[in-house]
């Protein structure tokens, strides 16, 4: 028999969302008339913008004509999309970039996972806690870790607790690490990092020859002026950071699939013998061999997000979600619940007013018929917290908030 990759067996296999589903089903069976409002999973709910949809349709029609037919495209993405992103999304931030540094893909989730292909297993990795589980689990899958301890920390990974005390921005690690995952605006805590905070990490990375993986999936949700949208707004970051961005949350592409990864040419690693290696070259090689590009209509639709009309409509959808976030944050705060996030991100990270994360999950489901995500599912430091998502219909959000206020408000 072929031998299996036993690293997969180390994973605490997909416990969170199946368990949530199980508890909802149990509740729904016992209470068939209850109208359950789901603010748990981080998926968008609004349709694509009309301008984006039009470009999508037109590009599909292109494929039906012999003049405009497109077969395999460049593995790195079409120039029209790469140039648009550089011009419309990075230039306004004062960030210069070469087209050869931008790689279009079908998602940030897979890019965050696949990037590990071009890094040696000997690298020491630092991961925040709580965290988007993909960073942790993909390191387990490639074999960088030992087993998990009883808390859920894997041997070999350096965990960086993000707590109320440190404002959900971690302290620098107390040992040398080679790779650091940062996600701002953060999923699950909804909090952001200031330029000074990011500078601390860039300085650390430059001083320690480390690489930062910066996940900016929620950058479009930033509403405050002084918050960085890209790590490259920090001086020196082009020498030490790889940035992941996605159209998923920005433009409702969770089902369409389009994202990008920026690997600047200056980000260097070394061989075992100490010879310098360009990660940009390795990533290009990796993508050319293992990936065949994102479909032409999807890339046309993505480019339309940054057209004048497309961006105006896209912003309106983001504003709609952010108004939901405000309603949740202010409503819960008024009920005496401590809330974080929700200002520059679509997530509200609240402190459980009663018991553990799972206790609060059950209470919220039983008494308010509202579903969220227990903070402990994102890591041990998430215990006692709870994530509510602002993706959803306004009416549902308002109903959910008024039910919570009724239950916990004084």
Ligand X SMILES: *Cc1c(COP(=O)(O)O)cnc(C)c1O
Q: Which is nearer to ligand X, 76 or 337 (CB)?
A: 76
Residues 24-83 close enough to bind ligand X by CB under 6 A: 42
**Element spanning 316, H or E:** helix 308-334
User: Which string of b and e fits 192-216 if b means at least 16 CB within 10 Å?
Assistant: bbeeebbbbbbebbbebebbbbbbb
Which region among 10-18, 104-112, 113-121, 166-174 touches ligand X (by CB under 6 A)? 104-112
The two structure tokens encoding residue 282: 């390795």
Residues 283, 76: Cα–Cα separation, whole Å: 10
Residues 6 or more apart whose Cβ sits within 8 Å of residue 275 = none
Distance of closest approach, residue 134 Cβ to ligand X, in angstroms? 7
Cα–Cα distance list, 93 to 74, 87, 239 (Å): 27, 10, 17
Work out how close the CB of 257 gets to ligand X at its nearest, in angstroms, rounded to a whole number.
7
Cβ proximity to ligand X, 42 vs 310, nearer residue: 42
Nearer to ligand X, 108 or 307 (CB): 108
Site size with ligand X, rule: CB under 6 A: 14
| Shortest distance, position 409 Cβ to ligand X, whole Å | 30
Q: What are phi and psi of 94, to 5 degrees?
A: 80, 20
370 touches ligand X by CB under 6 A: no
Nearest to 332 by CA among 386, 380, 381: 386
Nearer to ligand X among residue 179 and residue 404 (C-beta): 179
User: Least separation, in Å, of the C-beta of 31 and ligand X?
Assistant: 30
215 contributes a contact to ligand X by CB under 6 A: yes
287 binds ligand X (CB under 6 A): no
Say how many C-beta atoms besides its own lie within 10 A of residue 345's C-beta. 29
- Chain residues 162-201 in contact with ligand X, contact rule CB under 6 A: 183, 187
Q: Name the residue nearer to ligand X (CB basis): 145 or 389.
A: 389
Does position 229 interact with ligand X (CB under 6 A)? The reply is no
Angle at 392 between CA 387 and CA 395, to 5 degrees: 115
Q: Please report whether residue 256 would count as binding ligand X according to CB under 6 A.
A: no
Listed ranges 102-110, 116-124, 286-294, 386-394: which one lies at the site for ligand X (CB under 6 A): 102-110
Write out the two tokens for 195: 């330029």
Name residues contacting ligand X, limited to 109-148 (CB under 6 A): 109, 132
Q: Does 217 bind ligand X (CB under 6 A)?
A: yes
Span from 19-27, 242-250, 360-368, 380-388 in contact with ligand X (CB under 6 A): 242-250
Query: What are the strands of the beta sheet with 259-262, ordered from one edge?
Result: 102-105, 259-262, 241-246, 211-215, 179-183, 125-129, 157-161
* Contact window for ligand X (CB under 6 A) among 1-9, 29-37, 245-253, 360-368: 245-253
Residue nearest to ligand X (CB): 107
Q: Does residue 152 contact residue 379 with C-beta atoms inside 8 Å? A: yes
Residue 402 CB, shortest distance to ligand X, in Å, is 27
> Is residue 331 a contact partner of residue 404, using CB atoms and an 8 Å limit?
yes
> Does 248 engage in binding with ligand X (CB under 6 A)?
yes
Q: Cis ω on the peptide bond leading into residue 163 (within 30° of 0)?
A: no
Q: Which residues bind ligand X (CB under 6 A)?
A: 42, 107-109, 132, 183, 187, 215, 217, 246, 248-249, 254, 259
């Amino acid at each position: 028999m072929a031998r299996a990759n036993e690293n997969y067996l180390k994973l605490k296999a997909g416990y969170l969302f199946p368990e949530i589903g199980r508890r909802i089903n149990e509740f729904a069976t016992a209470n068939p008339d209850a109208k359950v409002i789901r603010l748990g999973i981080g998926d968008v709910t609004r349709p694509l913008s009309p301008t984006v949809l039009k470009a999508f349709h037109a590009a599909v029609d292109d494929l039906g004509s012999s003049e405009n037919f497109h077969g395999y495209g460049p593995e790195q993405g079409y120039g029209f999309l790469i140039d648009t992103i550089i011009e419309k999304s990075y230039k306004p931030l004062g960030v210069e970039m070469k087209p050869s540094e931008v790689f279009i893909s079908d998602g940030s989730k897979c890019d965050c996972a696949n990037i590990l292909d071009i890094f040696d297993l000997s690298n020491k990795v630092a991961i925040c806690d709580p965290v988007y589980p993909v960073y942790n689990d993909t390191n387990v899958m490639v074999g960088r870790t030992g087993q998990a301890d009883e808390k859920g920390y894997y041997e070999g990974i350096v965990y960086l607790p993000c707590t109320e005390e440190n404002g959900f921005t971690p302290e620098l690690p107390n040992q040398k690490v080679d790779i650091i995952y940062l996600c701002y605006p953060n999923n699950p805590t909804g909090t952001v990092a200031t330029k000074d905070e990011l500078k601390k990490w860039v300085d650390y990375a430059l001083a320690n020859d480390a690489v930062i993986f910066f996940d900016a999936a929620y950058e479009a949700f930033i509403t405050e002026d002084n918050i960085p949208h890209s790590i490259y707004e920090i001086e020196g970051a082009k020498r030490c950071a790889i940035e992941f961005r996605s159209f998923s949350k920005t433009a409702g592409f969770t089902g369409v699939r389009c994202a990008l990864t920026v690997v600047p040419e200056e980000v260097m690693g070394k061989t075992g013998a100490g010879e310098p290696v360009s990660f940009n070259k390795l990533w290009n090689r990796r993508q050319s061999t293992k990936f065949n590009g994102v479909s032409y209509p999807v890339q046309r639709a993505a480019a339309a997000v940054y057209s004048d009309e497309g961006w105006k409509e896209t912003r309106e959808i983001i504003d709609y979600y952010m108004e939901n976030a405000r309603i949740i944050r202010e409503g819960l705060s008024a009920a005496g619940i401590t809330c974080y996030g929700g200002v520059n991100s679509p997530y509200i990270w609240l402190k459980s007013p009663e018991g553990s994360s799972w206790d609060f999950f059950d209470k919220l489901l039983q008494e308010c018929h509202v579903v969220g995500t227990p903070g402990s599912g994102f890591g041990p430091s998430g215990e006692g917290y709870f994530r509510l998502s602002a993706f959803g219909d306004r009416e549902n959000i308002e109903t959910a908030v008024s039910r919570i206020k009724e239950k916990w408000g004084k």
